[in-house]
């Protein structure tokens, strides 16, 4: 394997059966070059506003990508040695070439994973690398990537063109002053880079930053957040500010998809105790989050922001990792969720309201056929989001289509929605999704369940029409 | 696509791999023309007794079929505009041609769904339609269907012959006087159309019709239902009347598959409070339902009625839909169930009793390999019912075979059991099931796990032998 | 079918697609003859120590194998008639030829099951049978198997060579005096047959043998087990004795994978009440089991025993079977488990400790992609065990690879771990696992997701490298 050539199979991720594959190839031809619609992600607004070049291969591809470093960690590599910053500011590896080599010499760990698929695509298509990663090839690959990174237009803004990204959304806390987005608009990119309103920290009474967050939104909105009414007004105000900055959606990542509203006075009392610094129990905190999800849905019917719900993840499973390296370090583990009963109050109230639109995501695959597809297949307000996080993978995406389509059809889904901090992986992720959808559709054609003409139209809809329709612009 | 020709691929729903497909075709040849055994469904006894012709295409194919109208509703079509009757008797669309056109112009919503598969089969095979539905073709298709509906023998009784239905079962409340079934028997069709005993409303203390239901069974049976003993006697009496009317099975659709019996005095007290009109809590109601499932199992050991359990659906998820249009309008959403602990009391008591037979159904696919197959693979009383409701679909049926067969084998399953209000879809549903089973068996042959001779025998067993054996006639 | 020839398809269990199959065949060539590593099973140490020949075909293949007799029971065959011993010593079938015939005449029940696959392999490869089992062929097959069983080296020790078993582990209670293992070592087989420490009975306060078990470990260890401290010391002592007897692992089969430790004084109080014969509630018992799983993990960090967790089975679902025939008689039914929250306390404490190694098993397949793969894909201490029990089957193993690999990769799995009481089925089980892994890898190659060279290396790792690395020898 020494210095084996790295190439991309043009038929990668298509079905193995030759007849089905031929159909998939023909379908894929119609979508492979369509622009990217990327309405949910974690590239920072600051990166676009300041348009700073990326420092080096490790800082671009390893350090910010928990998919990548968690796999190395799982085999005992220390996060310090991968350059992941410590909360205490303590020393971590700063030699990016050493970090890169640690990754390359463990290349075999990624066999069978989507990270492997994405990185191969990036290496070949984005960076022109033609070597298989290994301890021996690490330096040569590093140099090749570094040379591309050094190109003048290899910047966040430049990549919008390179990657043919029609529109991309950042994710921003409710307390963001949206200054970077203002700068982005000033640079004429307001139609291509938009914010998403993510108020989790302001809705989680038991969270470590709750008080700071509500104070910040109080200040930005000029509302008196010492009262529950002022708090709601401040949230409405921030939503409006986000809409004016181009936002089309909100995003909610609570543990549970529960939406049972509390009586107003009960909610107000809980809120009051929380801002007064009183102890809030876990049950009370969860009840308030459910109440506020309901309020967010209600506000969506008023202002038109599409509501995205990403539940079911037990964050920071390892206390040690949280304390040492902070959040989003690969130790977030999914749990089972009850969507049917969780979203019932919200959908009972707003699910047939033509001004309400929500997109439901899951990592718990058991709810696809049992709960989400039946819900999306009847409530006009609901679309199913794409397979999320760990299941944004070849087989994960196939299972989603297989488990959801028969009950929800294609037209109650959002089309592909990526979700990444790794900017350079965006084209690879969209390409993979297009291949998987083409393969799924090809199989329907091969089984006489769809005509090829319909399959092609559906593939285009999944790639372009549905993502755009799922996140419509809001007049302001 | 304008006026594209509608044809059925003779190899539809078979595996795409050519070698496996050839085997599937050979297996399917042995079962495709076998008579239909349809032991669970929702065609009304009245339809058979009165043998009334069907009014028109929309009233036959759209208005009674929640699979069809829920998909239109999911994209914002109002149920009024589909002619779904309102509870308040308010005006709804009465122009069947307009309803039909709304369906046809939304044809693409059904891509990838079993409804598409069934309807294409019906259009071509039952109605001789050769146009793809669209706004443009809607009228022509309507006329063609209407002309077939107008044929003299296109009546419920006539369809028994057209569709080669050997036997079909209706589903009837415990309070049914079985008068329509008496008329059916008088017309010499008692061997082909039989009732099923569905006592849910009489077992659900918290249900809106509980009191009316027990009063009705009291009257029909001549038992004093003011006491718990009288209530049990009335239920026994009704079961006997159903058996005399040809019934072979009971059917139970409670939320949970729980079967924990209560002490008799506790059950009697709960019952007494309910008939006295006292408030029964949700927990008490659920406990009584579990108790009564146990009692139903016990009665089955006495009278031989096969017990069908269809749990795990949160009915009437949308209060607005329930209030406006009533039950069974597409807003029933499944939940996860715990079968292992739920049915344990019942199976511990009767699961090895040679006089007890039950068939377990699920929409929660997670229990196939984890719970249902291990249960059916050891308790002689238990068979697994076919994939039910949303998962009565090409991929849903494949997953059932793949997830259940390895532990339960084929011979602890019931064979295909359809479940529909849409009479005209019955042959399509059985044809699809036969194709999927043929494909699954073909794959076992292709993988060297079964001989073709065995596969053919098994296919015949799944189509005829097992459905008949699962619902044996009861001497009376 | 009368006296049809029984043959094994050389391509059995490989993918049906011809191109993918060819790749699978090439991969399989590299692993098919590798020695067997069998680090978890239920063949008794006594059998190896005494090396007693097997009595007859029924006693070898039917009576000890609950996979086999549960399927017959599911169709109404009485366990008495299969020779399963009764707890009361009452008469059961002793005519092994009659038992064997009951099995053969029901051969079709096994269609599509892994038992069928294993038994066919055993009949052909181990016993040289070339007849398909049936009532007519039962006697001839019986005679043929009996003649092989009668061969001089067809003994437990002899089978180690015949089957090319490099190493096999028994499963032994904490109270085992390990005398049989001493005899095994004396016979020079200590490197090939090792014990596993299974302390369930000593950790389950509510179990019927708890007191007897702790008394036994007290006696063997010389510790005073009347106190909690003495109890922990006794367990440490027994673990040490097992290590000295060659053990590499512990095994834990509690209902839940919970690991929340109690405050020491609370644990000590519960223990004290239990040894004093006081009533322990189910909740208290479960809390103590969780506490002790945490303690076992802690001891593993001290002594190096790999911790195997096999949760999620509701044992003895049928009280009647338990009372009549005892445990492990086919009436153990899985339930859903919550691994994410269950193992969190243990992994938070030890999951990144380089001295801790655990292997997590499941029968609840819903946790593969949702919980287990994310956990194994980040905690260095964790590997995923192979599909267990009912899902140790062709499609079950495929689903495991498909659902776990994309997030955990291959190198966070243990490789194949069989789990059987049926000695003669061990080669068949390993052969099947190698075939399925070859097919899964071949599909990755066919889809352009892996090179064939990588696939071959991975197949060898799954067969040999990973099972050995997952259960390393402990210096003593």
More confident residue, B306 or B420: B306
Report chain A's mean pLDDT, rounded to a whole number: 97
The alpha-carbon gap from A130 to the nearest alpha carbon of chain C, in Å, equals 15
- The answer to whether C111 contacts chain B (CB < 8 Å) is yes
Q: Is residue B226 part of a domain?
A: yes
pLDDT value of residue A1: 42
Given 3-state DSSP classes, what are the helix, strand and coil percentages for chain C, each rounded to the nearest 5?
50, 5, 40
Q: Which of C118, C153, C188 is the last residue of a domain?
A: C153
pLDDT value of residue C130: 97
- The answer to whether A344 contacts chain C (CB < 8 Å) is no
The alpha-carbon gap from B314 to the nearest alpha carbon of chain A, in Å, equals 8
Q: Are residues B226 and B237 in the same domain?
A: yes
Q: Is residue A4 part of a domain?
A: no
- The answer to whether B449 contacts chain C (CB < 8 Å) is yes
- The answer to whether B110 contacts chain A (CB < 8 Å) is yes
Considering only CB atoms, A378 lies closest to which of B12, B70, B366, namely B70
The verdict on a CB contact (< 8 Å) between B112 and A410 is yes
Residues of chain A with Cβ-Cβ distance to B331 below 8 Å are 378
The verdict on a CB contact (< 8 Å) between A334 and C371 is yes
Contact call for residues C457 and C31 (beta carbons, < 8 A): no
CB neighbours of residue C2 within 10 Å: 9
Q: Are residues B462 and B315 in the same domain?
A: yes
Nearest CA in chain B to C77: B380
Q: Which of C97, C125, C153 is the last residue of a domain?
A: C153
Considering only CB atoms, B409 lies closest to which of C71, C363, C365, namely C71
Residues of chain B with Cβ-Cβ distance to C402 below 8 Å are none
Q: Is residue A9 part of a domain?
A: no
Considering only CB atoms, A409 lies closest to which of B13, B15, B71, namely B71
- The answer to whether B41 contacts chain A (CB < 8 Å) is no
Q: What is the CATH number of the domain that holds B260?
A: 3.20.20.140
Q: Are residues B41 and B149 in the same domain?
A: no
pLDDT value of residue C3: 62
Q: Are residues C256 and C398 in the same domain?
A: yes
Q: What's the mean pLDDT in A111-129?
A: 97
Nearest CA in chain B to C117: B449
Considering only CB atoms, A354 lies closest to which of B13, B76, B363, namely B76
Return the HEC string of C108-157. HHHCCCHHHHHHHHHHHHHCCCCECCCCCCHHHHHHHHHHHHCCCCCCHH
pLDDT value of residue C4: 82
Residues of chain B with Cβ-Cβ distance to C331 below 8 Å are 378
Domain limits for position B103: 54-153
Q: Is residue C77 part of a domain?
A: yes
pLDDT value of residue C6: 96
Residues of chain A with Cβ-Cβ distance to C377 below 8 Å are 70-71, 74
Number of domains in chain C: 2
Residues of chain C with Cβ-Cβ distance to A116 below 8 Å are 449
Considering only CB atoms, C453 lies closest to which of A1, A16, A318, namely A1
Whether pLDDT at B2 is above 60 = no
Chains that touch C (3 or more CB pairs under 8 A): A, B
Q: Is residue B1 part of a domain?
A: no
Q: What's the mean pLDDT in A298-327?
A: 97
Q: Is residue A3 part of a domain?
A: no
The alpha-carbon gap from A21 to the nearest alpha carbon of chain C, in Å, equals 10
Chains that touch A (3 or more CB pairs under 8 A): B, C
The verdict on a CB contact (< 8 Å) between C454 and A108 is yes
Considering only CB atoms, C113 lies closest to which of B375, B409, B457, namely B409
Q: Are residues A144 and A184 in the same domain?
A: no
Report the C-alpha gap between A237 and A215 in whole angstroms. 14
The alpha-carbon gap from C274 to the nearest alpha carbon of chain B, in Å, equals 27
- The answer to whether A409 contacts chain C (CB < 8 Å) is no
Give the angle B313-B390-B12 at the CA atoms, nearest 5°: 170
Residues of chain B with Cβ-Cβ distance to C364 below 8 Å are 366, 370
Considering only CB atoms, B331 lies closest to which of A338, A378, A405, namely A378
Q: Which of residues 53-92 of C touch A (CB under 8 A)?
A: none
Q: Which of B153, B174, B208 is the last residue of a domain?
A: B153
The verdict on a CB contact (< 8 Å) between B18 and A19 is yes
Give the Å distances, CA to CA, from A25 to A11, A33, A163, A219, B11: 7, 13, 21, 55, 22
Q: Look-up: residue for tokens 């402990």?
A: C474
Q: Are residues C84 and C213 in the same domain?
A: no
- Substitution target in A333, A335, A369 with the highest count of C β-carbons within 10 Å is A333
Nearest CA in chain B to C367: B366
The verdict on a CB contact (< 8 Å) between B410 and C314 is no
Return the HEC string of chain A. CCCCECCCCCCCCCCCCHHHHHHHHHHHHCCCCCCEEECCCCCCHHHHHHCCCCCCHHHHHCCCCHHHHHHHHHCCCCHHHHCCCCCCCCCCCCCHHHHHHHHHHCHHHHCCCHHHHHHHHHHHHHCCCCECCCCCCHHHHHHHHHHHHCCCCCCHHHHHHHCCEEEEECCEECCCCCHHHHHHHHCCCCCCEECCEECHHHHCCCCCCHHHHHHHHHHHHCCCCCCHHHHHHHHHHHHHHHHHCCCCEEEECCCCCCCCCCCHHHHHHHHHHHHCCCCCCHHHHHHHHHHHHHHHHHHHHHHCCEEEECCCEECCCCHHHHHHHCCCCCCCEECCCCHHHHCHHHHHHHCCCCCCCEEECCCCCCHHHHHHHHHHCCCCCEEECCCCHHHCCHHHHHHHHHHHHHHHCCCCECCCCCCCCCHHHHHHHHHHHHHHHHHHHHHHHHCCCCCHHHHHHHHHHHHHHHHHHHCCCCCC
Whether pLDDT at A298 is above 90 = yes
Report chain B's mean pLDDT, rounded to a whole number: 97
Q: Is residue C202 part of a domain?
A: yes
More confident residue, C386 or B292: B292
Q: What is the pLDDT of residues A368-426, one digit of tens each?
A: 999 999 999 999 999 999 999 999 999 999 999 999 999 999 999 999 999 998 999 99
Question: Chains B, C: CB contacts under 8 A, how many?
Answer: 139
Write down the ipTM of this complex.
0.97
Considering only CB atoms, B406 lies closest to which of C318, C330, C396, namely C396
Q: Are residues C168 and C306 in the same domain?
A: yes
Q: What is the CATH number of the domain that holds B102?
A: 1.10.2020.10
Considering only CB atoms, B73 lies closest to which of A15, A373, A378, namely A378
The verdict on a CB contact (< 8 Å) between B395 and A402 is yes
Q: Are residues A138 and A218 in the same domain?
A: no
Q: Are residues B398 and B322 in the same domain?
A: yes
Nearest CA in chain B to C106: B411
Q: Are residues A135 and A175 in the same domain?
A: no
The verdict on a CB contact (< 8 Å) between A378 and B113 is no
The verdict on a CB contact (< 8 Å) between A380 and B113 is no
Q: Are residues A255 and A326 in the same domain?
A: yes
- The answer to whether A457 contacts chain B (CB < 8 Å) is yes
The verdict on a CB contact (< 8 Å) between A405 and B17 is no
Would you give per-residue pLDDT tens digits along chain C (476 residues)? 446 899 999 999 999 999 999 999 999 999 999 999 999 989 999 999 999 999 999 999 999 999 999 999 999 999 999 999 999 999 999 999 999 999 999 999 999 999 999 999 999 999 999 999 999 999 999 999 999 999 999 999 999 999 999 999 999 999 999 999 999 999 999 999 999 999 999 999 999 999 999 999 999 999 999 999 999 999 999 999 999 999 999 999 999 999 999 999 999 999 999 999 999 999 999 999 999 999 999 999 999 999 999 999 999 999 999 999 999 999 999 999 999 999 999 999 999 999 999 999 999 999 999 999 999 999 999 999 999 999 999 999 999 999 999 999 999 999 999 989 899 999 999 999 999 999 999 999 999 999 999 999 999 999 999 999 999 999 98
The verdict on a CB contact (< 8 Å) between A376 and B74 is yes
The alpha-carbon gap from A379 to the nearest alpha carbon of chain B, in Å, equals 5
Q: Is residue A274 part of a domain?
A: yes
Q: Are residues A153 and A107 in the same domain?
A: no
- Substitution target in B448, B451, B453, B461 with the highest count of C β-carbons within 10 Å is B448
Whether pLDDT at A186 is above 50 = yes
Considering only CB atoms, A113 lies closest to which of C340, C366, C409, namely C409
Whether pLDDT at B1 is above 50 = no
The verdict on a CB contact (< 8 Å) between B75 and A412 is yes
Nearest CA in chain A to B366: A366
Nearest CA in chain B to C70: B378
């Amino acid at each position: 394997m020494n210095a084996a050539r790295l190439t991309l199979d043009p038929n990668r991720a298509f079905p193995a059966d030759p007849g089905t594959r031929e159909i998939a190839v023909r379908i894929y031809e119609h979508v492979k070059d369509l622009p990217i619609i990327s309405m949910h992600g974690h590239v920072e607004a600051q990166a676009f506003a300041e348009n700073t070049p990326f420092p080096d291969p490790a800082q671009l591809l390893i350090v910010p990508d928990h998919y990548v470093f968690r796999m190395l960690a799982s085999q005992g590599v220390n996060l310090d040695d991968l350059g992941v910053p410590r909360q205490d500011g303590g020393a971590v590896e700063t030699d990016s070439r050493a970090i890169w080599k640690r990754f390359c010499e463990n290349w075999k760990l990624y066999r069978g994973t989507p990270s492997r698929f994405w990185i191969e695509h990036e290496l070949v298509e984005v960076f022109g690398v033609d070597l298989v990663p290994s301890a021996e090839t690490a330096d040569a690959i590093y140099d090749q990537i570094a040379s591309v990174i050094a190109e003048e237009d290899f910047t966040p803004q430049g990549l919008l063109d390179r990657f043919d990204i029609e529109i991309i959304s950042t994710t921003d806390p409710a307390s963001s002053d949206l200054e970077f987005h203002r700068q982005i608009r000033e640079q004429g990119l307001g139609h291509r880079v938009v914010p998403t309103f993510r108020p989790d920290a302001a809705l989680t009474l038991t969270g470590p930053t709750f008080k700071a967050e509500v104070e910040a939104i109080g200040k930005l909105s000029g509302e008196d957040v010492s009262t529950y009414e002022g708090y709601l007004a401040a949230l409405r105000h921030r939503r409006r500010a986000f809409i004016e900055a181009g936002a089309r959606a909100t995003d909610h990542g609570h543990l549970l998809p529960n939406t049972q509203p509390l009586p107003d006075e009960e909610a107000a009392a809980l809120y009051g105790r929380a801002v007064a610094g009183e102890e809030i129990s876990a049950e009370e905190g969860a009840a308030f989050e459910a109440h506020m999800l309901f309020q967010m849905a209600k506000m969506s019917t008023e202002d038109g922001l599409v509501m995205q719900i990403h539940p079911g993840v037990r964050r920071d499973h390892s206390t040690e990792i949280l304390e040492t390296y902070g959040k989003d370090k690969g130790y977030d583990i999914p749990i089972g969720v009850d969507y049917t009963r969780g979203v019932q109050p919200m959908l009972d109230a707003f699910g047939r309201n033509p001004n309400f639109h929500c997109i439901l995501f899951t990592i718990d695959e058991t709810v696809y056929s049992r709960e989400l597809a039946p819900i999306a297949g009847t409530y006009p307000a609901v679309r199913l989001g794409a397979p999320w996080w760990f299941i944004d993978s070849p087989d994960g995406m196939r299972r989603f289509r297989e488990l959801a389509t028969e009950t929800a059809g294609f037209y109650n889904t959002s089309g592909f929605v990526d979700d990444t901090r790794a900017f350079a992986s965006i084209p690879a992720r969209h390409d993979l999704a297009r291949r998987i959808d083409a393969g799924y559709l090809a199989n329907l054609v091969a089984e006489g369940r769809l005509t090829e003409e319909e399959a092609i139209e559906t593939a285009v809809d999944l790639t372009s029409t549905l993502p755009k329709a799922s996140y419509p612009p809001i007049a302001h």
